[in-house]
Structure 1
Amino acid sequence: MFVSSTLRIPLVLLLIFFVTTVAFAAVHKEVIIEDNGKEMRVATFAGNVEELLKQEGIKLNPGDKVTPGLKENISEGSKIVISRGFDVNIILDEEEYKTVKTTEMKVKDILKNAGIKPGSNIIVKPSLNTVIKEEATIDVTRIITKEVVTKEEIPYETHKKRDGMLQKGKTRIVQKGARGIKELTYRVTVAKGKVIDRELVKVRVLKEPVPEIVAVGTQNTISRGGNRFRYKKVMDVIATAYTHTGSNTATGKRPGKGTVAVDPSVIPLGSRLYVEGYGFGVAQDVGSKIKGSKIDVFLESRNAALKWGRKRVKVYILE
């Protein structure tokens, strides 16, 4: 088929126009940019997100996030969302840990990106699912559980046993007591450097205590001159001596051999006594210097009283 040259030129021009129009339509597009919540529509020839942002003079700062990614292609009607990072200050155990710039909104995601793994061993304020949209502070408290081992003494018991060979009122240590040792294991929970819980989980005895055994005297008789006498009480006292003063005793009797001056609050007047080194007597007198565990025995002469002097003796209060 023959086409004249005159007709050929307009056809070529028409073809060029068509191709150009199609190409223009293919690269020219209208897209939406949402920058931190604010939307704008732009016409662009950019092929991907990075080119588009460069074209529009939009800069990304550290911590900012763009969706889709910078290398992703764009087409007619594409929507590019820019989330601007904001500062979140993280306090760990009451000390400043770090400040992060983030676009994450949930507390748990912010912590995860900061290298803190949420779990049962931490307390977080605000709570993990709280949404944060602006600068804020997250307080993180680590709950640390550890075992602490201590040692304690175990007190010993005292066992008493009756001893008929020992005088009544007297005691004698048969076996000396010794404290034992035990090891205690506690499960201790610590938060912010303070113990918030302490639970005893194990006890191990390292050394058993040794009980103290004490013999308690029950013998209440003494033998003197072939005769045995029962007594109610035996005492260790300081004994001095006195002689005639020209006065009767506190009980109105004339003093003589066997008269003993006592403190009535300790040994009642009228009590029958046996004093070691002196013999039998009766509590019949008192004295201004006879107080507490002291007695004064009567002797017939001044020389005998001086010779007696001052001595520690046992006095038996007879039944």
Structure 2
Amino acid sequence: MNAKNWKKFISAAALGLMLLTGFATTGYTYNVAETYSRWDSFGVSEKREGEKVVKRRTVSASSLTQVIDKDEYIDKSFEQYPKVRVVATGYYSGIESTGKTPDHPTYGITYSGVKVQRATYSTIAADLRVFPLGTVLYIPGYGYGVVADKGGAVRGNTIDLYFETKKDIFEQWGKKTLEVYVVHRGGGKVTEAMMKGLNEKGIAAMAQPID
């Protein structure tokens, strides 16, 4: 093979390799990207719950490129707890939700007597025959909710999640039907001290008795 033909062969081989690696490989693969440790005695991660599952797509390009399409968090650490299917709505302290204005003496005060709050452990409303006061639920997409309130429209397997503003309700939640985890069944009371203790300890509080 003379030099001229050799150069043509090399060029053709290089072009073929580029086509094979750049354009012929397209598909989906699933990978567990991260698995977290540091579990407490209830199996709840100190850093983040569950495993992060990443769906990757190979994109046609001049070379192989992986792009993250979607990720979702599987709350495997909560599967040990009972699950209940509920309709979850949102409320805030305003007149549309509670009938109270800011000058009302009990504005922002729940049925249990504690102040509403959106934190690591937020106050939520429920039918107290289903979820007694003090019950701690884990609501996917919202977080931990402590049953501290009730409502006229909250009946059966319905819960009302506290948000700070009406805008937050519409932008962050709306109305959803989903399964929640009963992390702790309440004893019929909630106090400011209890809420403070839960939020100071964070998710580690689930490894200790709740007073």
TM-score, normalised via structure 1 length: 0.29
Whose RCO is larger (CA < 8 A, sep 6+)?
Answer: 2
Q: Which structure carries more strand by proportion?
A: 1
TM-score, normalised via structure 2 length: 0.43
Q: Which structure carries more helix by proportion?
A: 2
